[in-house]
């Protein structure tokens, strides 16, 4: 490589963007040529000078404005998506109208929503604060003789916060609290002795299982029963997320039952 060739490759050389062979040739040339060595040094110095410049931050108010607007857009997107899904679900329901609908006189789901609101507004929503699923399951076994499955949602960023023993129908039920960002997700399990037709709402089939969805006081709920207990999920998260969480809990519980 001679001086002219080096000059034409000066910038990619200084930026580390030359291929290995060219890089080696350029290195060899500047080792021998004081003129080009000085040229490279000055160019490097200039680049370092530019990179050392103070960097301005975005104004705090701008950041907050953007976060708020993104939040509004996200909520609208979720509403629109769900309207499309429920239209499709309505068509399915019409087709399976002969299946017995789950009916009830007592709205258990309303009770769960009220508990979700009450607990999440408490300073310490969880009696037992723990991110350890096994510890939470053991705590329920020892404290209330409840066989509870605490599903793992960590891979989608839903963190386990803790648990408490609550009551429904004068019987103990389990309450497990998770959080996605700052959005709480409550998972209830109400043991039942006889199959109860206790769930009202829209029937939805998801991955081969039936669920009942219902929106109350702005919260979305997904519930189902396996004959031994009624399970209920309550959150502001959208239905896609809730159904996926429900399916995962169901799968993990079935897996545990087989063991």
Partner 1 sequence: MEKTWRGWATGENRRGEFEEVALVHLDAIYRSALRLTHNRAEAEDLAQDTCLRAFRSFHRFNPGTNCRAWLFTILRNAFRDRLRRGGRERLDPEAADWEGEWQSATVVAPTGQPEEEFFLTALAGDVERALRALPLPFREVVMLSDLEELSYKEIAEVVGCPVGTVMSRLSRGRALLRQALGRVAREHGYLKESP
Binding residues for partner 1, per CB under 8 A?
10-12, 15, 17, 39, 42-43, 45-47, 49-51, 53-59, 62-63, 65-67, 69-71, 73-75, 77-78, 81, 155-157, 180-181, 183, 236-238, 240-241, 244, 248
Minimum Å gap between C-beta 194 and partner 1 is 33
Terminal C-alpha separation, the chain: 71
- What's 37-95 look like in SS3? HHHHHHHHHHHHHHHCCCCCCCCHHHHHHHHHHHHHHHHHHHHHHHHHHHHHHHHHHHH
Give the shortest CB-211-to-partner 1 separation in angstroms: 15
Give every CB contact of residue 217 below 8 A, 6+ residues apart in sequence.
113, 117
Looking at the Cβ atoms of 15 and 167, the one nearer to partner 1 is: 15
Could you tell me which of 184, 186, 229, 225 has the C-alpha nearest to residue 203?
Answer: 225
The tally of CA atoms less than 13 A away on the side-chain side of residue 204 is 25
For partner 1, give the closer residue by CB, 39 or 147: 39
127 vs 215 by CB, closer to partner 1: 215
15 or 256: whose CB is closer to partner 1? 15
Of residues 43 and 127, the one with the C-beta less far from partner 1? 43
Q: How far is the CB of 228 from partner 1 (least distance, A)?
A: 25
Q: Which one, 196 or 238, has the nearer CB to partner 1?
A: 238
Q: How far is the CB of 44 from partner 1 (least distance, A)?
A: 11
Contact 183, 235 (CB under 8 A): yes
Q: How far is the CB of 74 from partner 1 (least distance, A)?
A: 4
| Min separation Cβ 195 and partner 1, Å | 29
């Amino acid at each position: 490589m001679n001086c002219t060739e080096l000059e034409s490759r000066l910038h990619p050389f200084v930026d580390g963007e030359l291929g290995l062979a060219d890089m080696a040739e350029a290195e060899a040339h500047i080792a021998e040529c004081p003129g080009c060595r000085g040229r490279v040094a000055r160019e490097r110095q200039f680049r370092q000078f530019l990179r050392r410049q103070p960097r301005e931050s975005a104004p705090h108010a701008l950041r907050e404005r953007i976060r708020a607007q993104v939040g509004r857009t996200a909520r609208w997107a979720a509403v629109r998506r769900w309207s499309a899904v429920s239209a499709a679900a309505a068509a399915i329901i019409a087709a399976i109208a002969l299946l017995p609908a789950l009916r009830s006189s007592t709205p258990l789901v309303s009770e769960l929503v009220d508990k979700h609101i009450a607990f999440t507004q408490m300073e310490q929503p969880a009696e037992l604060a723990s991110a350890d699923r096994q510890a939470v399951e053991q705590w329920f076994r020892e404290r209330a003789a409840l066989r509870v499955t605490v599903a793992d949602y960590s891979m989608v960023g839903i963190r386990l916060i803790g648990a408490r023993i609550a009551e429904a129908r004068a019987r103990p039920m389990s309450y497990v609290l998770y959080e996605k960002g700052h959005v709480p997700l409550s998972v209830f399990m109400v043991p039942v002795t006889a199959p109860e037709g206790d769930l009202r709402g829209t029937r939805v089939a998801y991955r081969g299982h039936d669920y009942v969805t219902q929106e109350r006081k702005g919260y979305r709920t997904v519930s189902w029963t396996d004959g031994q207990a009624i399970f209920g999920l309550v959150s502001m998260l959208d239905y896609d997320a809730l159904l996926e969480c429900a399916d995962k809990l169901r799968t993990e519980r079935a897996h545990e039952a087989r063991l």
